[in-house]
Structure 1
């Protein structure tokens, strides 16, 4: 007959009628033009992406129980998919989800060290005021227990700076990776620095043996943020190259924003790429 607001878990939640479970519905529509160009070819196309998210939470005798479902589809394939779906109980998470490796990298569109960070997985994360540690097990392919991976992370917030270390090991490939990362408030913006190394190709890292990168996001105005970034890569093949880019984000109005980026990679063909996006979020 009416909707009761639930403010126990943040804004946007309401009680599912007849229950003590709180539900939040959110999502976005993104219209974009993506382009790329090198010495031999150029390409560009429009694409529209739709995303709907359902988040639930309720208190229980074993802690807060939650769930998350994200449905997503694009105009290119005309099919909606379950992009993520998982259950949480306190710091425990189980389902099809991004893992700790998804947090690796810096702002901008240039970092590309991690190639796989979403699997059927289970993980546990413990957080205090200043420290966070986590451990997870991933099913890297549909081969079940014949191909598992393990990830771990630890981070510490030290005033205006946060330091984090990530690691993972693919038991099927018998290869692993390690990443160190720093983010800090500096001047009118935020600085991010990271470096990563992988022993050989795995489900987590398939191209780069090592990389270092840095990005700085500063607010030019209340609505405009500009992020220049630089990255250096070395592939398992021995090829190495430099990359740089600039990302600009502008908040047009409440729930409506635009993003523009231009990126360059100094490979054998000198690759340029970028996009222009209009995003409606709710």
Structure 2
């Protein structure tokens, strides 16, 4: 075989291999159309379908910055001011099922000031129809619209049910109680009512709308301390704003309420313009001290003040609170409290 024949044979072999490779070449498939987020309007504004599912998700929250002030230097290190930042994000997921609407909520909250910061699970619960199970703020967390009143706040692990008609609702829950929201467990060495199996509480609330009036009555019983509290709250549209009043009676310090034996609060939120609201308010607490067993006695306290809310832009608001207290604490009768806040919500 001469050199010419060898070269021609090699060329033919290479051509054959190249043809085979060309025939077996992998062709990339055309990409499938992407599934874009779809709006879900079945459960209200802001929900969208999680891609590939029939579950609707809503994400909301806020970032808040405020500077607090107190004339009695009670904000730490003998200072009368403190800056504080808070962030909160809530994830709501809902879908329809043979059991009705199934929902779940997770809220994460963080804050930071000169002492550092923290990250916590603020709420986490499941809803099936009218049932709600998990950790969440209960009806004691409802208050009037200003910043003057303090008529309770509570977050507990609970099993609750709420029946709601057009203008009427009934709420009931069984709660696991802790001493976090009560002064009782910190008052006497060796007395911790929430370290026992009796750390159970019951709540019941009934309310409704009657013309321009919204009213509800809330009652709770703490089996750990054998004390309870009852609160009535009502609001009504009056003139250019909303008038609100609340009253509480407590048999003793409990996980539900521990600030006073009795209290009365009132406010009027006057809507001056679409952006500006002025809310003067006042509250009186009777018998605000507690003994080692959580029984009330001692001094009364009263507070009066003004809250100013202003909408700077869509999703951006500011709030200013100025409050005067007379409580005769450590010989200081007169205390001024307040804050300036900027909040971006989404």
Query: Residue 80 in 1 paired to residue 119 in 2?
Result: yes
* Structure number having the greater helix percentage: 2
Residue 15 of structure 1: aligned partner:
49
Q: CA deviation at 1:237?
A: 2.2
Take 1:265 and 1:42, find their aligned partners in 2: how far apart are those partners?
18
Take 2:73 and 2:98, find their aligned partners in 1: how far apart are those partners?
62
Take 2:219 and 2:138, find their aligned partners in 1: how far apart are those partners?
11
Instruction: Kindly provide the CA deviation profile for residues 53-90 of structure 1, in whole angstroms up to 9, marking residues without a partner as x.
Output: 10011011111000111101011343211011111111
Task: Give TM-score scaled by structure 1 length.
Answer: 0.95
Structure 1 62/233 Cα, relative in aligned 2: closer, same or farther at 3 Å? same
- Which gives a bigger RCO, structure 1 or 2 (Cα 8 Å, sep 6+)? 1
Mapping of 1:142-221 within 5 angstroms? 145-221=197-273
CA contact 2:252–2:261 (8 Å) conserved in 1? yes
Query: Residue 5 in 1 paired to residue 39 in 2?
Result: yes
Question: Aligned residue pairs: how many?
Answer: 280
Take 1:78 and 1:180, find their aligned partners in 2: how far apart are those partners?
36
Greater C-alpha Rg: 2
Mapping of 1:1-282 within 5 angstroms? 1=34, 2-38=36-72, 43-76=80-113, 77-103=116-142, 105-114=143-152, 116-141=153-178, 145-234=197-286, 235=288, 236-268=296-328, 269=332, 270-282=334-346
Take 2:298 and 2:343, find their aligned partners in 1: how far apart are those partners?
39
Task: Give TM-score scaled by structure 2 length.
Answer: 0.78
Take 2:310 and 2:128, find their aligned partners in 1: how far apart are those partners?
36
- Aligned with 1:34: secondary structure? strand
Take 1:206 and 1:179, find their aligned partners in 2: how far apart are those partners?
13
In the alignment, structure 1 segments of 5+ residues that lack a partner are none
Instruction: Kindly provide the CA deviation profile for residues 212-233 of structure 1, in whole angstroms up to 9, marking residues without a partner as x.
Output: 0110001111101110001111
